[in-house]
């Protein structure tokens, strides 16, 4: 009899109720599928956002690095050009020291050229390294001779044989010096 009651109940349910149950079941399945799709799309969106942020950061780092390299290449070019000019500057200094007559027009002309070239080096940010009377610094000076003399302090530079130059704190050419004691 239980079978008959169950069969009657199934027959007693209206068709609309069965259809509504089916529609609700399909809607629940669709909601589950939609929620899963939304979660997958959110994960994809988060992944794409992360990739985009990393790419932007990498590009920013690249831009900064290339700007720094460009500035460094300019400074290296200045140093190389000045290093090529320094022997001529040394010869001008030697010519001025060897000149006998300070009133001679030729000596005045050489002195003017020397001063003009020193002005150009100064405009490029090239600075002469101080030597005489300074303590010896192996990062800025190159000792080529020593002298024992009690009137000078220990490791004091007593003579500059060749002038040294630096650009933005970086040595272009070391000063060749004579050091006491």
Q: What is the pLDDT of residues 1-58, one digit of tens each?
A: 455 554 555 555 677 777 777 778 787 787 878 888 899 999 999 999 999 999 999 9
Q: What is the pLDDT of residues 77-104, one digit of tens each?
A: 999 999 999 999 888 888 888 876 666 7
Mean pLDDT highest for which of 2-6, 36-40, 61-65, 171-175? 61-65
Give the rounded distance of the alpha carbon of 170 from its chain centre: 16
Q: Which residue from 82, 169, 177 is spatially nearest to 137, judged by alpha carbons?
A: 177
pLDDT for res 46: 94
Residue 145 has pLDDT above 60, yes or no: yes
pLDDT for res 60: 96
CATH value of 128-181 in 3.40.50.970, 3.30.565.10, 2.30.22.10, 3.30.70.20: 2.30.22.10
Contact 97, 120 (CB under 8 A): no
pLDDT for res 119: 92
DSSP 66-82: HHHHHHHHHHHHHHHHH
- Which residue ranges make up each domain of the chain? 128-181
Contact 142, 175 (CB under 8 A): yes
């Amino acid at each position: 009899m239980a079978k008959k009651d169950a069969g009657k109940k199934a027959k007693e349910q209206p068709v609309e109720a069965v259809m509504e149950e089916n529609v609700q079941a399909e809607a629940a399945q669709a909601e589950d599928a939609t929620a899963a799709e939304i979660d997958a799309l959110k994960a994809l969106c988060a992944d794409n956002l992360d990739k985009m942020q990393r790419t932007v950061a990498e590009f920013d780092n690249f831009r900064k690095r290339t700007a720094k390299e460009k500035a460094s290449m300019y400074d290296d070019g200045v140093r190389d050009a000045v290093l090529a000019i320094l022997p001529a500057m040394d010869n001008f200094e030697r010519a001025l020291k060897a000149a006998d007559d300070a009133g001679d027009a030729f000596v005045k002309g050489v002195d003017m050229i020397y001063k003009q070239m020193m002005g150009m080096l100064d405009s490029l940010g090239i600075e002469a390294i101080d030597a005489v009377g300074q303590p010896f610094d192996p990062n800025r000076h190159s000792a080529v001779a020593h002298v024992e003399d009690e009137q000078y302090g220990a490791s004091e530079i007593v003579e500059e044989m060749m002038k040294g130059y630096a650009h933005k704190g970086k040595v272009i050419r070391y000063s060749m010096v004579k050091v006491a004691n």
